[in-house]
Amino acid sequence: MSLPSLTAVLERVPAPVVFIASGLTQYAGAGVAVGLFATLGAGEVGWWRIAFAALVLLLWRRPWRRTWTRHDLGWSVAFGAVLTAMNLTFYLAIEHLPLGTAVAIEFCGPVVVAALTGRGLRSRAAIAAAAAGVVLLAGVTLDSGLSPSDAAIGLGAIAAAATCWGLYILFGRRVARVGAGVDGLAVGMAAGSLLSAPFLAHDAPRVLSDGALVLLLVVVAVCSSVIPYGMEQVVLRRVPPATFAVLLALLPATAAVVGAVMLGQFPGAAQIVGLLCVSAAIVLAPPRD
């Protein structure tokens, strides 16, 4: 299916459904990535995820055929830098924190965006419900026997990831609204991987000589970057930043499910209540500009 026809299909799918599909693929990829940390380390896995995702998107979209203005190219590069930083700090965090906890705390970034850009009582109620849901999703696993060093590193990394996630929404919407879309995503990821390569690509010969490892990294890249970020570019054109941020509350819920199935990090009663709060937020969120 070509990109225009695929985009047309996604345009007709309700945004929450797109986000659920996006979240399931994204955190399934994260579950695979956790298993690679012993081989490469979190930072290296995060970098290879972006690098392989950029390669897949460049081969698919061939964005050099597009006429780029300096302005659009600059925003795509800035978007890619923020996206890369978000991924690297997130992977560092889930090396030290449970997956569901990390994603829930990272959601503070979208909550701030929603609070700053949302308008009207309905939007504010959606923000409050989403925030309450995320607090419940996070709080149930914070007391999980983490060492002080793991907690300090994990919380510091996820705070940085949360900041980047908020910027990702603002920058990504600008890229989507000017029409760059997935082409801008391809350029941004390529730029982000090149900017961080001097720090994280030092083990490239060993990685590229291991076919099984390369295959797993490609799976992580496609599941955690190509599919979800491509879907989000479609949604970012359709809804305002505050609504997009509220819809992101679906991700902690899907992360908790994936964490339970793939990593044995089972949810409890508080997380179920949190899921109900997130569901209420989705119903309340204004659907479009």
Give domain status of residue 289, yes or no: no
Structure tokens given for 244? 């997009």
CA 117, CA 71: separation in Å to the nearest integer?
23
Question: What distance in Å separates the CA atoms of residue 139 and residue 134, rounded to the nearest whole number?
Answer: 8
In a domain, residue 1? The reply is no
Q: Is pLDDT larger for residue 91 or for residue 249?
A: 91
pLDDT for the residue 140: 44
Is 118 inside a domain boundary?
Answer: yes
Q: Tell me how many domains the chain contains.
A: 1
Give the torsion sign (CA, 42, 236, 121, 273). Answer: negative
Does residue 5 belong to any structural domain of this protein? no
Give the rounded distance of the alpha carbon of 95 from its chain centre. Answer: 16
Instruction: Give the pLDDT confidence of 232-289 residue by residue, as tens digits.
Output: 887 887 777 877 877 777 766 666 666 666 666 666 677 778 777 777 776 676 655 4
0.85 exceeded by pTM: no
Domain that holds residue 199: 13-284
- pLDDT digit string (tens) for 142-156? 455 667 788 888 889
The 10s digit of each residue's pLDDT in 12-66 is 777 777 777 877 787 778 778 878 888 888 889 889 999 999 999 999 888 888 8
Alpha helices in the chain (DSSP H): 3-12, 15-34, 37-40, 42-61, 70-94, 99-106, 108-117, 120-142, 148-177, 181-200, 204-208, 211-221, 227-238, 241-247, 250-263, 269-284
